Amino acid sequence: MDPILRPRKLLTRRQLLQLSGLSATSLLMSGCGSRLFDDVAQKTFEPLNQSIEALILNPQKPVPEFPISAIEPKALLVNTFNSVPDIDPKTYRLIIDGEVNHPMQLSITDIQKMPLTSMVIRHVCVEGWSAIVQWGGVRLRDLISLALPKKNARFVYFKSADGYYESWDMPSSLHPQTLMAYQKNGQPLSDDNGAPLRLASPIKLGYKQSKWVTRITLVNRLTPAKGYWEDQGYEWYGGL
């Protein structure tokens, strides 16, 4: 799902797992070690569904990727709900702040000088469609590492140029397949797909993958405003 596009029909968890090629049995087999369960069960300050999803979905486990031949170039739907924000790539700066020891601002040129990571993954929308896409960009964990996060940082907020906002858990943000992408299918990211920089990851639903990201803020607790759609009743974790 494109972040601001209102879903017409929501999928059940079972349908989402089937769509992404996972099964409840395989998730349970890979995620339910007794020590991990004890650790999660003791975190009574977290919402129950967040703890259980983090336990079962194991956000640090790599997700199988696809060959380039599997790319579906026309399957990724483009958001037409809001107008595309006007961003000048020459003056664009990505701000990284919050619970960090080294707040910073990076130009898109600065970001493109960092090691490029490319992956072919399935983008899954809560509306019921999916698309196999190749994303290229910088691992989010590398950007966070540059800012020297403080030990109490537990969540990450993303602010977009169009007013959209999202928040993620830290483990998902540090997942090796969570990117700040500036390429799609080997080409520069287009404006309507989130240029100059957007989130892309195989472990989260589409509404969690913000476009036009201008600020990344690390925090030690979530505010009442957790995300654009979450504040209207959507699940916060949004994992696959």
- 4 vs 46: CA distance, rounded Å: 27
Q: What is the pLDDT of residue 61?
A: 79
Given a cut of 80, is residue 128 above it in pLDDT? yes
Mind giving me the DSSP string for 133-150? Answer: EEEEEEEHHHHHHHT-B-
Q: What is the pLDDT of residue 91?
A: 97
Least trusted range by pLDDT, from 52-61, 125-134, 138-147, 153-162: 52-61
Q: What is the pLDDT of residue 41?
A: 32
Do residues 94 and 213 make contact, with C-beta atoms less than 8 angstroms apart?
Answer: yes
Q: Using alpha carbons, select from 11, 58, 7 the residue that is nearest to residue 32.
A: 58
Structure tokens, 22: 């996972």
Structure tokens, 130: 């999916």
pLDDT bucket at 48, cuts 50 / 70 / 90 = very low
Given a cut of 50, is residue 208 above it in pLDDT? yes
The 10 Å CB-count burial string (b at 16+, else e) for 56-72 is ebbbeeebebbeeeebe
pTM > 0.75: yes or no: yes
Listed by start position, the domains of the chain span 65-232
The alpha helices in the chain, defined as continuous H runs, are 13-19, 24-31, 34-41, 48-57, 108-112, 140-146, 170-173
Return mean pLDDT, the chain. 82
Eight-class DSSP state of 19: H
Locus of tokens 């924000």 = 85
Do residues 121 and 135 make contact, with C-beta atoms less than 8 angstroms apart?
Answer: yes
Backbone angles phi, psi at 183, to 5 degrees: -130, 150
Mean predicted confidence (pLDDT) in 129-155: 96
Given a cut of 80, is residue 222 above it in pLDDT? yes
User: What distance lies between CA 232 and its chain's CA centroid?
Assistant: 19
Question: Which has the higher per-residue pLDDT, 213 or 20?
Answer: 213
Q: What is the pLDDT of residue 19?
A: 47
Given a cut of 50, is residue 181 above it in pLDDT? yes
| Domain 65-232: assigned CATH number | 3.90.420.10
Q: What is the pLDDT of residue 174?
A: 94
Mean predicted confidence (pLDDT) in 4-24: 45
Eight-class DSSP state of 100: B
- 72 vs 79: CA distance, rounded Å: 17
Question: Which has the higher per-residue pLDDT, 35 or 65?
Answer: 65
Task: Give residue 5's identity as a one-letter amino acid code.
Answer: L
